[in-house]
Every structure is written in C-alpha cells, then in structure tokens.
Homo-oligomer: A and B are copies of this chain.
Amino acid sequence: MKEKQIICGFSKLDKDQKLDYISGYFENQEDFIKELKSFYHEDEKKQKIFDEFSENTISNFYFPYGIAPNFLIDGNIQHVPLVIEESSVVAAASKSAKFWSNKGGFHTEIISTKKIGQVHFIWHGNFDKLKTLLPDLKDRMIERTSEITANMVARGGGIADIELVDMTHEIPDYYQVKATFETVDSMGANFINSCLEEFAQELKEFFTESPYFKDEERNCEVIMSILSNYTPECLVKVSVECDIDDLDEIDEDLSGDEFAWKFEKAVQIAKVDTYRATTHNKGIFNGIDAVALATGNDFRAIEACGHTYAARDGKYQSLTDVEVKDGKFKYWLTIPLAMGTVGGLTTLHPLAKTSLELLGNPGATELMRIAASVGLANNFGAIKSLVTKGIQKGHMKMHLLNILNQLNATTEEKNKTKIYFEDKKVSYSAVENYLIKLRTPIEASKVVYVNK
C-alpha cells in the first residue's frame, strides 16, 4: 500500500487511471477496482451520464429507491418514490399516508413561489438620491438581462421586483440590490445567479455613467452577487384533519382523546424546547429530503432554508402546529420549499425522470405539495410512535435486518431470528448472542461429549 501523498493533476486523469491511482491505497488493488466497477451501470452511455454529474467520479453510490404508496393529496392519489438510507422513513410515510387516506388525506396550499437574490455592495454616497434613481437603474437592469430572461418570461416567470436595501446600520457603507424572481417549474439557481451577475455589472456602470453622482460617489465595490437559499416566501402549507374519535384506532392502550392530548403536548414541547425542536423538524426533512433525492432536487438548499425559517422568530422551533378543539384534531406544516421539476438533474438523472413520471410529471408547485405532505406524514408517524409505544420497538425491528446482514446471517437464520425477536428487545449484542447459539449446537455437543 502506498503512503498518501499530494497528487498533482488528479482531475486530468481518466476514470480508469483515477481508479488505478486510488487503488494503491488498498491492500488488494484488484479487488478494490473490481468492487468499484461492480457498481457501474451495464450501459456505458448511461454510466457516462452519471460520471459527468460530478468531478473525479470513480463509481456510483447506491441508495435504496422505494415507494411510499397511498398519499391522498388534494383529492389525488400518489405513490411517492423515496430515496433514503434510513430504514424507518419509507415505512413511517406509508403508514401515515394510509391512515390519512380515508380521513380526507392531505390538504395543501401554495402561499407564494417567490425566490430571492442579492447583489451585496459597498458604496459611499447619498442613499436617498440612489433610491430616487432606482426606477432608472431597474429599467437598465431589466434591459440588460432581457436575453437571459426571455425563455423564463415565455414560461410565465422572470424578474418580479428589484429593491435597494440600506444595511449601513450593520456594516458601514453596505447596501444590497435585493431582487425577487419567479422561476416557474425550475429551481432557477443558474437563472437567478446569471441575472444577478449582470445586475452587478449594470450597477457599477450606472454609478460611473449617471450624471447625478458626484465623483466621490462613483466607486462601487461589489462584494458578491448570488441567490439566497432562504426563500421564506416560497411557501407551502399542508394539513390533515379528523374527528378525535377517529384517533381511537391508533393505539389499543389510548383513547382518541388521550392520544390527542399527548400528541398536542409533544408538539407544544417542540415549540418551546430547542433540543426537541431540532429532532422534531429532522423528522419532517426525513420525508422531504427523500422526495428531493428521488426527483433530483438539491436537499442542502431545502434543509438550509427550512431550518432558517424555523428560527425566524429568534428561537429555533417546530415547523408544525396542532389544534385539538371541538372534537376535531388538526395538524399542519408550513414550510418554505424551493423545488424544481425542470432543469438541473431533474430530467437528466434517469431515475429522477422516472420519479417525476410516476408522480404524473408535476410542476414545481405540485412537487412542493407532494414533498410537504410526505414531510408531514413522516413527522406525524414519528410523533405517533413516540407518544404511544416508543420509537425503538419499530426502529429496532427494522434495524434487525441490518444487524443480521452485518453478521452475514443466512436466509434461514434470518427467519429464525425474526421469529425469536418478535416479543423480545432487539440489540446488537442480543442478536449476536442468539446467532452464536444458533450456529454452535454441534460444537457445543462435541465439547460435552469430550468431557464425559
């Protein structure tokens, strides 16, 4: 095995050369290469697409592609493709979807789809004057980007607004051009950033050319021009509602009233306690990210935005709300979700494309509705487990298979172990001990025999 050293020109090697180079860090180089190649797609042309998604690619990383069926969303049934490595996510989403499917399902509302971009600049001058010149500046910016925006405008989107923001109370001489965009069915990152970089150029030229500025006002230092992943206005609300009596069926030990009381307390706790809020919201993103991954959307953008939104009132708290009143149980999620169904990987990744097809080729707002519903379903499922039998019973049962695979259990051993643990607590060591017993009856009897 090689000692690791700084490599020059790694990105210029072809894929086989890269694989060969990295194999040098493994004891058995051939095994490493064979293993990584075993994950290639059989169709070379398709494999090339995966290779070109990113840089320095040497293989594909597999994630399970599963289906959470039975989501009734605004009256339409969806069987939702999910990509996620956590064993309980698909199961929880499916169970919740089924539970709500005969209680009216998920109701959604798109509050807005506006996205934000900023040109951050340092400038020393009369801001009031600049503000009066904004209409002119705006025209120039819109004119300058007309070629970039043409396609988007044709699809019904474009630049919605351009404002100037005075930030000098935070940093001396710091201002922003803050622009609002509609990007229709695309996530729009490239579109927004391309517009913003042109805005920045135009801003600099405006300061140089406009007759209204004094010489000392002509210098403008653009720090950066970039979209914001925080889109608090690109917002979707999803709710479920049922009679409290309908909650009787959830747990044999709890009445609907008792369940509703505990559930309400659990959500209240996630409103007041940050430690709990983080995990509560994480359960929402389990579902949303799984939809994002399955449809080629950028889950880091979605996560960053949603969590920032959760902290918008100065304290990080739950993204869901509950109301238990007049015999009704109502639960809802309000979350900003900037998603796309055209552009990026959405149609380039063969399975992302398949995902969208299975969902009936939705537009961006439809996908927002679906993802938010899955998020609420996952969170509902988690809280339901937590306030009834606890999360570990289900979790560990699902994890049992992983433990068994880790211990290289045969199908026969798996079946025996599953039956044995049906009424017992699953833990790694308990499963290991049981498997050892299962595997050693012959040796054990031998020992007895020898000692006789």
Q: Is the CB of B223 within 8 A of A193?
A: no
- In Å, the complex CA distance between A402 and B346 comes to 11
Known: A22-B79, A85-B345, A273-B167. A10 touches B67 (CB 8 A): yes
Chain B residues near A190 (CB, 8 Å)? 392, 395-396, 399, 427
Partner pick for A276 among B118, B272, B315, CB 8 A cutoff:
B118
Partner pick for A39 among B67, B351, B398, B428, CB 8 A cutoff:
B351
Partner pick for A18 among B67, B85, B268, B274, CB 8 A cutoff:
B67
Q: Is the CB of B57 within 8 A of A60?
A: no
Chain B residues near A345 (CB, 8 Å)? 85, 402
A299: shortest Cβ distance to chain B, in Å? 8
- In Å, the complex CA distance between A46 and B94 comes to 25
Q: Is the CB of B64 within 8 A of A54?
A: yes
A185 within 8 A of B: no
A222: shortest Cβ distance to chain B, in Å? 9
- The 8 A CB mask of A170-195 against B (1 = contact, 0 = none) is 11001010100000000000100110
Q: Is the CB of B262 within 8 A of A85?
A: no
Known: A275-B228, A303-B300. A151 touches B64 (CB 8 A): no
A230 within 8 A of B: yes
Chain B residues near A392 (CB, 8 Å)? 190, 193-194, 197
Chain B residues near A311 (CB, 8 Å)? 307-308, 310-311, 315-316
Partner pick for A94 among B11, B62, B350, B428, CB 8 A cutoff:
B11
Q: Is the CB of A279 within 8 A of B262?
A: no
- In Å, the complex CA distance between A116 and B194 comes to 44
Interface centre among A25, A265, A285 (most CB of B within 10 A): A265
Partner pick for A197 among B120, B227, B390, B405, CB 8 A cutoff:
B390
A331 within 8 A of B: no
Known: A54-B85, A285-B303. A64 touches B60 (CB 8 A): yes
> CB-nearest residue of chain B relative to A389?
B197
Kindly list 14 other residue pairs between chains A and B, CB separation below 8 angstroms, not including A54-B85, A303-B303.
A6-B69, A38-B41, A52-B402, A55-B91, A61-B293, A120-B273, A171-B265, A224-B266, A228-B275, A229-B282, A277-B308, A289-B300, A299-B299, A343-B428
Q: Supply 28 A–B pairs (Cβ within 8 Å), ascending by A.
A: A6-B101, A10-B70, A10-B94, A35-B350, A35-B354, A52-B401, A52-B405, A54-B85, A56-B68, A59-B351, A61-B293, A86-B298, A86-B300, A148-B427, A171-B272, A176-B273, A190-B395, A194-B392, A194-B427, A223-B387, A224-B386, A224-B387, A277-B308, A299-B299, A303-B303, A307-B310, A344-B402, A347-B406
